[in-house]
């Protein structure tokens, strides 16, 4: 039979094992590079921008970005401009482009993409960003921005 000292020792050992596992998982997630992508549709200008935000704790170097969408049952694909407009520093950058923790960059999506068809869901499209490690981040979610009201709808 176990006495009180043995039971306390087992409980402390289990607590230490669980705590170290939780902390190890948290550190692994913290070291992972994480990017958030948003496709912003500007209602009054009928234009799109792809906003890329580094929400992780490590710098991410972007190698390129692009758009894929379907029009009349055919897939269209092209790379976005090689000179993104860096909102954080107010001057243009060039790929490869490094985003530090919390920095963001906006890429103009050309008018080739028909704004009305895409926002009404007639065309299914998605934007993507590639980093130098070969990871691809994708999104198809569109946010509608009303510049007159200075708010998202």
Q: Which CA distances in Å does 32 have to 35, 54, 99, 122?
A: 10, 11, 14, 35
- Do both 39 and 54 map to the same domain? yes
- Do both 55 and 126 map to the same domain? yes
* Local confidence pLDDT in tens for the 153 residues of the chain: 788 899 999 999 999 999 999 999 988 877 777 888 888 877 777 777 888 888 888 888 888 888 776 666 666 566 665 544 444 444 445 778 888 888 888 887 766 555 545 555 545 677 888 888 888 888 877 788 887 787 777
The pTM assigned to this predicted structure is 0.67
Q: In terms of residue numbers, what domain contains 111?
A: 35-152
Dist. CA 15–CA 112, nearest whole Å = 58
- Do both 26 and 41 map to the same domain? no
Classify burial at 147, counting beta carbons within 10 Å of its beta carbon; exposed 0-12, middle 13-18, buried 19 or more: exposed
- Do both 76 and 116 map to the same domain? yes
The reported pLDDT for the residue numbered 81 is: 59
Classify burial at 86, counting beta carbons within 10 Å of its beta carbon; exposed 0-12, middle 13-18, buried 19 or more: middle
Tell me which residue has tokens 């009404």: 120
- Do both 17 and 81 map to the same domain? no
The reported pLDDT for the residue numbered 95 is: 76
Provide the domain count of the chain: 2
Closest CA to 87 of 64, 109, 63, 103: 103
Q: What are residue 5's phi and psi, to 5 degrees?
A: -65, -40
């Amino acid at each position: 039979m176990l006495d009180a000292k043995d039971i306390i020792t087992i409980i402390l050992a289990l607590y230490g094992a669980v705590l170290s596992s939780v902390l190890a998982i948290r550190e692994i997630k913290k070291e992972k590079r994480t990017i958030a992508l948003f496709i912003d549709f500007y209602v009054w200008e009928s234009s799109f921008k792809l906003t890329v935000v580094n929400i992780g704790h490590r710098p991410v170097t972007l190698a390129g970005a692009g758009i894929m969408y379907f029009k009349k049952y055919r897939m269209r694909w092209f790379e976005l401009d090689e000179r993104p407009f860096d909102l954080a520093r107010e001057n243009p950058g060039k790929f490869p482009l490094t985003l530090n923790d919390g920095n963001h960059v906006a890429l103009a999506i050309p008018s080739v993409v028909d704004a009305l068809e895409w926002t009404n869901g007639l065309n299914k499209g998605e934007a993507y960003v590639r980093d130098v490690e070969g990871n691809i981040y994708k999104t198809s979610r569109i946010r509608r921005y009303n510049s007159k009201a200075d708010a998202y709808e």
